């Protein structure tokens, strides 16, 4: 059954200290060509029937994202990108 993927990221103008911490750690790993790192959330929603993008958008808006500081996108997962496909 296809899943719906909700990607939640901080808005570009909001500071991301978690991502900055990762970016600052990279030189110690010998990585010097990274300009920035932003960390957000990825949520996979599995429906009992047909995947419902509008319903997923409603869930994201009410429960998964804080619209004041975060943007989200909702889309169908491609066949090769769900957790089951990876395992």
Give the footprint of a second copy on this chain (CB under 8 A): 1, 7-13, 19, 22, 25-26, 29, 31, 33-49, 52, 55, 58-59, 62-64, 71, 73, 81, 83-84, 86-87
Query: Least distance in Å: CB of 3 to a second copy?
Result: 9
Q: Residue 19 is inside which H or E element, if any?
A: helix 17-25
Query: If DSSP codes are grouped into helix, strand and coil, which group holds residue 49?
Result: coil
Please give the Cα distance from 57 to 74 (Å, whole number): 6
The owner of tokens 């909001």 is 14
């Amino acid at each position: 059954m296809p899943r719906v993927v909700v990607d939640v990221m901080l808005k570009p103008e909001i500071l991301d200290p978690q991502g900055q911490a990762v970016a600052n750690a990279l030189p110690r790993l010998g990585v010097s060509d990274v300009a920035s790192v932003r960390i957000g959330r990825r949520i996979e929603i599995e429906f009992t029937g047909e995947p419902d993008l509008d319903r997923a958008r409603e869930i994201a808006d009410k429960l998964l994202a804080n619209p004041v500081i975060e943007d989200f996108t909702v889309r169908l997962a491609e066949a090769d990108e769900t957790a089951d496909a990876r395992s």
